[in-house]
Amino acid sequence: MKLYYSPGACSLSPHIVLREAGLPFQPVLASTKTHQLADGTDYYTINPKGYVPLLELDDGQRLTEGPAIVQYIADQVPAKHLAPAAGTMARYRLIEWLNFITTELHKTYSPLFNPAMPEEAKNLFKEKLRGRYAYIDQQLEGKDYLMGEQFSVADAYLFTVTNWAKPIGLDLSAFERVLAFQKRVAARPAVQAALEAEGLKK
């Protein structure tokens, strides 16, 4: 398998999941700025959407969109319990979390990376994010991870997007459980390996 990624982007989430799963894969750097690979290949010829992540399977099929990719990976190694079994209520809870992270967090962060976005607008997006983190902080009460004691693909995604708070100047100090969650996830060997591979370890 090949994972097309850009350092620190949302592709870090499936990168972490692949390492948690212990599956062999080849990371392929795809610049989100130039939309080119290291060999000069136009990334749009691989993914017409132009963004990461993209998972290319051994049979040549290509899968896009992070929440779909991480569930696919998890289902390849059910013994790792990275996602509950398909069709169970727990699986729908996982999908519920993945949808919340992608629509309420990921897409709210996106405008904050746009240099043309006025400060007034950025403040509105930050306020919305703070409200979402207040909810997550509440949901993490008495739990190590979003689904309870078991690390899941949703945790990899939440960890990834929450790492964007510092670069855009979002203060999360009011959310102690969220900060404790970030430290807990960061300490996992697979997460450390993914961060190191992407040149993100300080």
Per-domain residue ranges for the chain?
2-80+190-197, 89-188
Residue type, 6: S
Tens digit of pLDDT for each residue in 179-192? Answer: 999 999 999 999 99
Q: Does residue 153 contact residue 169 with C-beta atoms inside 8 Å?
A: no
* Contact residues for 73 (Cβ-Cβ < 8 A; gap 6+): 14, 17, 18, 21, 23, 55, 82, 153
Residue 11 tokens read as 């592709």
CA-based end-to-end distance of the chain: 28
pTM across the whole model: 0.97
Tens digit of pLDDT for each residue in 136-179? Answer: 999 999 999 999 999 999 999 999 999 999 999 999 999 999 99
Fold of 89-188: Glutathione S-transferase Yfyf (Class Pi); Chain A, domain 2 (1.20.1050)
Do the domains 89-188 and 2-80+190-197 match in fold? no
Using a pLDDT cut of 90, give the percent of the chain over it. Answer: 98
Taking CA 9 as the corner, what is the angle to CA 7 and CA 15, rounded to the nearest 5 degrees? 70
Tens digit of pLDDT for each residue in 26-68? Answer: 999 999 889 999 999 999 999 999 999 999 999 999 999 999 9
Residue type, 148: G
Q: Does residue 97 contact residue 146 with C-beta atoms inside 8 Å?
A: yes
Q: Does residue 134 contact residue 175 with C-beta atoms inside 8 Å?
A: yes
Question: What is the average pLDDT value for the chain, to the nearest integer?
Answer: 97
The single-letter DSSP state of residue 18 is: H
Using a pLDDT cut of 70, give the percent of the chain over it. Answer: 100
CA–CA separation, 181 vs 163, rounded Å? 12
Interval 14-29 mean pLDDT = 98
The reported pLDDT for the residue numbered 32 is: 87
- Max Cα–Cα distance, the chain, nearest Å: 49
Q: DSSP string spanning 133-193?
A: HHHHHHHTTT-SBTTBSS--HHHHHHHHHHTTTTTTT---TT-HHHHHHHHHHHTSHHHHH
Is residue 202's pLDDT more than 80? no
The reported pLDDT for the residue numbered 201 is: 86
The reported pLDDT for the residue numbered 118 is: 96
The reported pLDDT for the residue numbered 29 is: 97
The reported pLDDT for the residue numbered 12 is: 98
Is CATH 3.40.30.10 correct for 2-80+190-197? Answer: yes
User: What sign for the dihedral angle of Cα 188, 53, 108, 113?
Assistant: positive
